[in-house]
Amino acid sequence: MNSNRGIEENTSAIIDSFGVKDARDIEDDRLSFLQAVRVTSIVPENGTVPSSKMFEAIFQIMRNGTTLELIITSYQLLIELEKRYPRVYLSNSELVVDKEAWSPFSFGSEGAYSDRNSTNGDLDEPLNPNGFFLLAQVADTGFKLSGIKPLADMFLFQYLIRVLERDFLPRNSVYKESSEWSLLRESLLNTLMGSRRINYRNLFKDCLYILCKGSHAGFDIPDGESAVKSSTQASGGMVGPTILSEFGKRTVVAVQIFLTSILELVVSKKQADMKGETSRADGVRVPLMDIIVDELTYNKDLISPFLQVFSESQWKLDIILQYFEKYVPKQTSLQTRRSNNSPEVSKLDVVLKCFSNVASTRGIVKKINVEVAQLLLAHAFQAYTCEKADDSSLVQVCKDISAAFQNLRKIDEDMEMLQIAEEALFTVATILSTK
């Protein structure tokens, strides 16, 4: 740590320089600090781990960023430090946890949390669960705001999700082999989801709406380095809508990672539940998939943008199947929980059988309409093909999908074929022509 001692000694002076220097000097000092950390911790092969004080300083610079360059540079540095000096990682299939490592989260006593907005730039402490919840709300509105602060909050939200993911994945990997629930109980994600300070339904709804809005955002995102070079002049506190729209894609990707991690956590938690290893304080108390399906059912206008953006094919298929479960004949049993003994093809096959004749198809369409049926069937087929099913099953699914769309056409002769449905049928025809 000797090589970082001089940098650490100047950290407080660099961060607490407001009112002492003008804005340009402050920005230069902070950029110099970030570069100094990079030179000592990232560049050398045997770099030194920044102290907690230095991590906090970088975190504050990102949270309080007054220019796009400061925000992106500090964000990139934090991400690189996460990779170089992980808190949790696998070593020879063994889980290694550095319990002394700095964390951007604060999970103190539940009673100690205040309701203040923990995303405010003048707050120096790490984020508590309420602060994370508020950041999701900010990110939901960030697509239409044009200031530097919403952008800083979006990057902060992305970084926190990255921290949650990098803590969760190695733990969950070991859990799948060992079934030791304590490994996941202590994860940042489970701890966050176990907080009484989070309104889970509203948090997940915010995330769902971020994804849906993302389907209309500009997706040609420059990489971080080129973004810094092309946007360093945004120092007046305002960011153009094009830049904000571009970086909105990063938020959309982060939210998908967050939701997928929670879905995976729920699967592992259910397994631990069956063994009586969990408690009421563990993890998500409101099933995420139920919330997603309920929200899509309540607001059908969300179905298309959500399925367009959500790219995790396995989970997309599960969500569609659970949605259909509300409308297929009651005697039909659909289990949306993944299991080695219940492959996804059999579940999709059950749904497709419900569209195998005009009568049952008409019964479903009366409840969800032809357009929604097209969307769900086309996206289900798309997700299924991404899962690399065996050839024999794929051929049968192709035939059933084709029959389903034929029956939809019989019910509504004026049915306008959606693009996603046309693409699905083109894929079906291509596959069948080669068999």
In 3D space, the residue among 395, 408, 321 whose CA is nearest the CA of residue 357 turns out to be 408
Res. 247: pLDDT tops 50: yes
DSSP string, 58-91: HHHHHHT--SHHHHHHHHHHHHHHHHHS-SEEEE
Residue 427 has pLDDT above 70, yes or no: yes
Q: Taking the CB of residue 137, how many other CB atoms lie within 10 A of it?
A: 16
Q: How far from 46 is each of 3, 85, 95, 163, CA to CA, in Å?
A: 11, 11, 23, 23
> Is residue 142 within 8 Å of residue 251, measured between CB atoms?
yes
Of 337, 151, 311, 318, the C-alpha closest to 238 is 151
Name the residue type at position 117. N
Give the span between the Cα atoms of 193 and 301, in whole angstroms. Answer: 28
At 32-90, the pLDDT tens digits run: 999 999 999 999 988 899 999 999 999 999 998 888 899 999 999 999 999 999 999 99
Supply the pLDDT for residue 64. Answer: 86
Residues shown for the chain: 435
**pTM exceeds 0.75, yes or no:** yes
Q: What is the maximum alpha-carbon separation in the chain?
A: 77
Rg (CA), the chain: 24
Lowest mean pLDDT across 165-174, 196-205, 328-337, 360-369:
328-337
Confidence at residue 21, expressed as pLDDT on a 0 to 100 scale: 58
225-246 pLDDT, tens digit each? 444 444 444 444 455 555 656 6
From the list 341, 361, 365, the residue with the least C-alpha distance to 353 is 361
Higher pLDDT, 205 or 170: 170
Confidence (pLDDT) at 5: 63
* The pLDDT value given to residue 181: 93
Q: What is the pLDDT of residues 280-295, one digit of tens each?
A: 777 667 788 999 999 9
Does the pLDDT value for residue 164 go beyond 50? Answer: yes
Each domain of the chain, given as residue ranges in start order, spans: 1-85, 88-107+126-230+238-311, 345-434
Distance CA 41, CA 77 (A): 10
How far apart are alpha carbons 1 and 221 in whole angstroms? 37
Question: For the chain, what is the mean pLDDT?
Answer: 81
Beta-bridge mates of residue 97: 88
User: Mean per-residue pLDDT for 134-144?
Assistant: 71
Quote the pLDDT of residue 340: 46
* Confidence (pLDDT) at 82: 94
Contact, 73 vs 31, CB < 8 A? yes
Q: Give dist(CA 130, CA 18) in Å, integer.
A: 28
Q: Which DSSP helix (H) or strand (E) runs through 96? A: strand 94-97
Q: Which DSSP letter does residue 331 get?
A: T
Binning pLDDT at 50, 70 and 90, where does residue 337 land?
Answer: very low
**Cα of 175 vs its chain's centroid, Å:** 21
In three-state secondary structure terms, 95 is: strand
* Percent of the chain at pLDDT exceeding 90: 47
Residue 345 has pLDDT above 70, yes or no: no
Of the CA atoms within 13 Å of residue 104, those in its CB half-sphere come to: 28
pLDDT confidence of residue 250 = 82
- The end-to-end CA distance of the chain, in Å, is 64
Contact 27, 67 (CB under 8 A): yes
For residue 321, what are its two tokens? 């199947």
93: left (phi over 0), alpha (psi -120 to 50) or beta: left
Give the span between the Cα atoms of 397 and 353, in whole angstroms: 10
Place of tokens 């994804």: 211
Which secondary-structure segment (H or E) carries 94? strand 94-97
Instruction: In whole angstroms, give the CA distance from residue 72 to residue 156.
Output: 10
**Backbone dihedral angles phi then psi of residue 88, each to the nearest 5 degrees:** -135, 130
Q: Per-residue confidence at 256, pLDDT binned at 50, 70, 90?
A: very high
Tokens representing 93 are 């299939």
